[in-house]
């Protein structure tokens, strides 16, 4: 797509999925926004014989949001950094920076990080950047962490906090974490870290509708989760980097499609790269399980960072933690597809697809309170069937047509543009 045109005219096309809200008087031929470039996309091949695997992950949700604080623990400084729900990949770098700020106020320059998912690895790297000697202690390491099971992208509000449990102090931590993480992830774009800019298409019959959501069970209760409208003031939610594609300008089986920019992360590439960086800068990884807080007292490091996610439910008796079960199914990858897409089906299940090198990831699930790591066959059936129905109705490009390719933006979209994106 023409990114320069998008940056100049995206806001005139659509603001918050609403038409006409940015008009200021009558339009002239000189001021009328240019028509968005049509989307010519490679079709998605979705079928049951292309299913590779189904994965399950448990997001560590707390109604009051993530915990980020320091306290004395015997003769040690204990720093908590957990409970990021579906935003652990999105907020890791920012929370890690604040962990390092706490650690610098302690004595000594040795730190133990408990946990080797996204929060643990990013906290460890931020500590290393400030001169700390860091050891990660964990039961599991990539590719066997919860972070590896995520859809993964910059989705800083997914199942993160209940709207009625926020505080001014927590809000300030969230905004700072999102700002730092967004900047860090932009600098990591490329194959080395598996972070990419890509176009995301939300197919819809009503141009004033919201973003699409993943199919599957567990939608009940999701209205309690704070959204962009709750977390940031309206003045900071321009949503101006969106394009509304009309009939004939996109290949999806709906009247319209909303094109936005997505910052996508491939968990297997990203987490392995973080491990390599951590080890290259002198870090150590020790496989170890901690059954009780007193076990931490056996560590030699004066600073201990708790990044155990749901592990804090038992390790620190935080019964405010609730698992939010997620489930994804991977289809055979298609190199020619470098976009995300989703839209409605006749069954009422929203079809979703995220292209990665390890597969086309379809479906989603948010099932609060479910501790099971076993795939739900009914959810898998619905998600794959929805993908088959929706993407089989895509219009194939004409022979010889030049496909629309995702490309990095000339100017990065504002942070607030991502606050209404779900993972």
Per-10-residue mean pLDDT for the chain, 423 residues long? 40 33 40 77 97 96 97 95 95 98 94 97 98 97 88 87 93 93 95 95 82 38 70 55 90 95 94 98 97 94 97 96 96 96 93 95 93 96 97 95 91 79 53
Task: Say how far apart CA 213 and CA 343 lie, in whole Å.
Answer: 8
Residue 92, burial from CB neighbour count under 10 angstroms (0-12, 13-18, 19+): buried
Distances, alpha carbon 160 to alpha carbons 119, 172, 205, 338, 421, in Å: 14, 14, 29, 28, 12
Angle at 183 between CA 179 and CA 184, to 5 degrees: 115
pLDDT for residue 2? 44
Architecture of domain 62-188+267-317 in this structure: 3-Layer(aba) Sandwich (3.40)
C-alpha to C-alpha distance for 96 and 199, rounded to whole angstroms = 28
CA–CA distance, 62 with 322 (Å, rounded to integer)? 6
Distance CA 323, CA 343 (A): 27
What pairing do the DSSP bridges indicate for beta strands 359-362 and 321-331? antiparallel
Quick one: pLDDT at residue 418? 79
Q: Dump pLDDT digits (tens) for 218-263.
A: 343 446 888 767 776 555 444 556 899 999 999 999 999 999 999 9
pLDDT tens, 275-315? 999 999 999 999 999 999 999 999 999 999 999 999 999 99
Structure tokens at 322: 């609730």
Q: Quick one: which of 323, 322, 327, 324 has its CA closest to 216?
A: 327
How, if at all, do strands 303-306 and 110-114 pair?
A: parallel
- pTM given for the model: 0.86
The H-or-E segment that residue 199 falls in is strand 195-204
Domain 3-18+35-59+196-263+324-418 sits in CATH 3.90.1720: no
Task: Supply the DSSP symbol for 273.
Answer: H
Q: What is the DSSP secondary structure assignment for residue 251, as one 8-state letter?
A: -
On the 0-12 / 13-18 / 19+ scale of CB atoms within 10 A, 32 is exposed
- Helix, strand, coil shares of the chain as percentages rounded to 5? 30, 25, 45
Question: Taking a C-beta distance cutoff of 8 angstroms, is the pair 352, 362 a contact?
Answer: yes
214 to 187, 207, 350, 423: CA distances (angstroms): 28, 19, 6, 8
b/e burial code for range 169-179 (CB count within 10 A of at least 16 → b): ebbebbbbbbe
Domain boundaries, the chain: 3-18+35-59+196-263+324-418, 62-188+267-317
Is the link from the previous residue into 3 a cis peptide, with omega within 30 of 0?
Answer: no
User: Do the two domains 3-18+35-59+196-263+324-418 and 62-188+267-317 of this chain adopt the same fold?
Assistant: no
Q: Which pLDDT belongs to residue 265?
A: 95
Beta bridge partners of 110: 133
Token representation of residue 1:
């797509």
User: Which is nearest to 126 in space by CA: 177, 82, 194?
Assistant: 177
């Amino acid at each position: 797509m023409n990114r320069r045109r998008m940056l100049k005219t995206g806001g005139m096309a659509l603001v918050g999925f609403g038409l006409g809200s940015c008009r200021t008087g009558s339009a002239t031929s000189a001021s009328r926004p240019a028509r968005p470039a049509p989307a010519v996309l490679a079709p998605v091949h979705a079928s049951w014989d292309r299913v590779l695997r189904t994965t399950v992950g448990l997001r560590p949700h707390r109604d009051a949001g993530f915990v980020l604080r320091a306290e004395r623990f015997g003769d040690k400084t204990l720093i908590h950094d957990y409970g990021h729900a579906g935003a652990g990949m999105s907020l890791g770098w920012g929370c890690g920076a604040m962990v390092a700020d706490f650690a610098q106020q302690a004595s000594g320059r040795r730190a133990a990080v408990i946990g080797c998912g996204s929060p643990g690895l990013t906290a460890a790297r931020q500590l290393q950047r400030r001169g700390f000697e860091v050891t990660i202690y964990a039961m599991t390491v990539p590719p066997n962490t919860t972070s590896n099971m995520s859809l993964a992208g910059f989705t800083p509000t997914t199942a993160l906090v209940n709207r009625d449990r926020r505080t001014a102090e927590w809000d300030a931590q969230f905004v700072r974490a999102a700002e730092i993480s967004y900047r860090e992830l932009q600098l990591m774009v490329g194959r080395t870290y598996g972070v990419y800019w890509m176009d995301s298409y939300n197919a819809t019959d009503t141009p004033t509708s919201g973003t699409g959501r993943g199919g599957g069970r567990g939608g009940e209760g999701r209205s309690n989760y704070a959204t962009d409208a709750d977390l940031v003031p309206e003045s900071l939610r321009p949503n101006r980097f969106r394009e509304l594609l009309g009939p004939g300008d996109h290949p999806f089986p709906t009247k319209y499609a909303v094109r936005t920019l997505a910052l996508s992360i491939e968990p297997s590439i990203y987490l392995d790269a973080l491990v390599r960086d951590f080890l290259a800068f002198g870090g150590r990884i020790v496989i170890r399980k901690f059954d009780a807080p007193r076990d931490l007292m056996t560590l030699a490091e004066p600073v201990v960072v708790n990044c155990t996610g749901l592990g804090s439910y038992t390790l620190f008796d935080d019964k405010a933690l609730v698992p939010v079960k997620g489930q994804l199914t991977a289809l055979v990858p298609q190199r020619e597809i470098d976009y995300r897409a989703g839209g409605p089906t006749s069954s009422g299940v929203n079809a979703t697809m995220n292209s990665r090198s390890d597969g086309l990831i379809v479906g989603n699930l948010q099932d609060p309170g479910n501790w099971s790591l076993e795939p739900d066959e009914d959810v898998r059936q619905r998600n794959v069937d929805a993908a088959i129905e929706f993407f089989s109705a895509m219009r194939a490009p004409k022979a010889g047509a030049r496909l629309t390719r995702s490309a990095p933006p000339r100017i990065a979209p504002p942070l607030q543009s991502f606050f209404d994106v779900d993972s």
